[in-house]
Amino acid sequence: MHESRGFKILRVVILAFLAIFTATPLYVMLSTSVKPLSDVRKEFSWIPVNFTIQPFIDMWSTVRLADYFINSFIVASVASTLSVLIALVAGYATSRFVFKGRNVFSGAILSTQMIPGILFLLPLFLIFVNIDKALGFELFYQTRFGLIIVFMTFTLPFSIYMFANYLNGIPKDLDEAARVDGCGILATLFKVIVPTAIPGIVAVWVYSFMQAWGEILFASQLTDNNTATLAIGLQNYATQVDVYWNQIMAASLTVSVPIVLGFMLLQKYFVAGLTAGSVK
């Protein structure tokens, strides 16, 4: 397909605008993170006058940033892994087997995405508190385990939908060949289907991880200072006395680095997993 000169110019202009629109906030964060707090309070300047890396050092002692990072990583990793395991089995069943109510099940999964998450906040809070009260110890409320259950639950429906669509693109001949060789349903799934579905698994895992990593609504109400995640912990840089803007920016950049690097390393699998299920 031949592109006209006007279309090429328009494409370059749009891409340049999007690049500037995306890069400008990142540059502001970076420039603010290398300024003393006294300079941040002054009129904004694009180029730091008094360059310093002290905010990157002080951010670890001002708040318990390392603890918040560990909490976020554990909760997001475990929740996304459990979501993948459960969604893989459910997606395989939806893709491969014809059973009564399959269409209703698929529709119900998608319909849950239309319900605002805030409607579940109070019921979950009451359920967790009452269960812990009955048990006599904290199992769900203000614990990592409770937050893992919440995040896994909310990423599970769309994960099942993604897996079902992705597995529809894998030939059923592989299942039949595995059964001829004596494999059962689970053996067929984990020994034959899973190795060919790695891009889809990575895509679902990355989706679930990113959803759990940046969640703030449930984390703000179902955790305490010991189990708070990064999204909540970063708020502690704002005190009644002052707001450490330079440390907030430094901490935000620091905790984003491993996520960005991980996404870049898994990008090819993520893109392949998202697109493969849509092509038949």
**DSSP summary character for residue 244:** -
Q: pLDDT tens digits for 35-47?
A: 988 888 888 888 8
Question: How do the domains of the chain map onto residue ranges?
Answer: 53-276
Three-state secondary structure string covering 180-227: HCCCCHHHHHHHHHHHHCHHHHHHHHHHHHHHHHCCCHHHHHCCCCCC
**pLDDT value of residue 269:** 64
CA distance 22 to 118: 29
Q: Give the dihedral sign, CA 84/198/271/231.
A: positive
Q: Predicted confidence band at 1 (pLDDT cuts at 50, 70, 90)?
A: low
**pLDDT value of residue 280:** 43
Q: What is the pTM of this model?
A: 0.83
Q: pLDDT tens digits for 227-250?
A: 999 888 888 888 877 888 889 999
**pLDDT value of residue 279:** 44
Domain 53-276 listed as CATH 1.10.260.40: no
Over range 87-112, report the average pLDDT: 84
For residue 47, give both structure tokens.
């180029």
